[in-house]
A and B are shown apart, each in its own frame.
Chain A
């Protein structure tokens, strides 16, 4: 079945870049998403990439997709303490179901 895996924790210093990695198994994935969840809140869409793209940049965020290896990454440049949150990778194949990873907890040290 479909599966999405991410490392559970990442700790960086303020001002450094953060790279959160994700792997998925479904080769028919059409869209891949990154969501952010802050404490006590729901998931907020950060960015998404279509499966025929290699890279997408949006201000401090860069998404890289290696479709051959089924590997997705999210790079946050100049990480700030306000970026501390849980980041979920998600993939959507044909149909309505979106599969979420377990989330990566990003800790930003001042």
Chain B
């Protein structure tokens, strides 16, 4: 019973390509997130959706476009991939409310050749 699942787990592709990462949660949460973790393990919020509405949009290149078809899914599409996009991307979800922690997926390891 995977709570937050991301696909693919690994993604190796060439510079300039367009790729998507999918995320699904079966916890009934109303808020979902995308984080980028760099090689030094620093975790940076990229986007957050609450009930399919964008609520956090950090300074992220507009090559990154999130899409939430319903509150159980938040996908991340990346256009024109660059070398600096190589990282681990984590999806997370939480229920609204301050004491509700975030539940993380296992990450998608993106490598740009």
Tell me which residues across on chain B come within 8 A of A100, comparing CB atoms.
43
A44 near B45 with CB under 8 A, answer no
* A42 interfacial by beta-carbon distance below 8 Å: yes
The stretch among B62-70, B72-80, B95-103 that forms the contact with chain A is B95-103
Chain A residues, Cβ within 8 Å of B96? 96
B44-73 residues with Cβ-Cβ distance < 8 A to A are 45, 48, 50, 55-56
Given known pairs A41-B107, A96-B48, the reply for A86 and B99 (CB within 8 Å) is: no
> Is the CB–CB distance between B90 and A43 below 8 Å?
yes
- Given the complex, which residues of A lie within 8 Å of B92, measured CB to CB? 42-43
Interface size bracket, B side: 20 to 34
Asked if B43 and A88 sit within 8 Å, CB to CB, the answer is yes
Residue of B nearest to A94 (CB): B98
Decide yes or no whether B34 CB sits under 8 A from chain A: no
Interface pair A45/B101, CB less than 8 Å apart: yes
Closest to B103 in A: A45
Determine whether A98 belongs to the interface, using a CB cutoff of 8 Å to chain B.
yes
Q: A-side interface residues toward B, CB under 8 Å?
A: 30-31, 33, 35, 37, 40-45, 48, 50, 86, 88, 92, 94, 96-98, 100, 102-103, 105
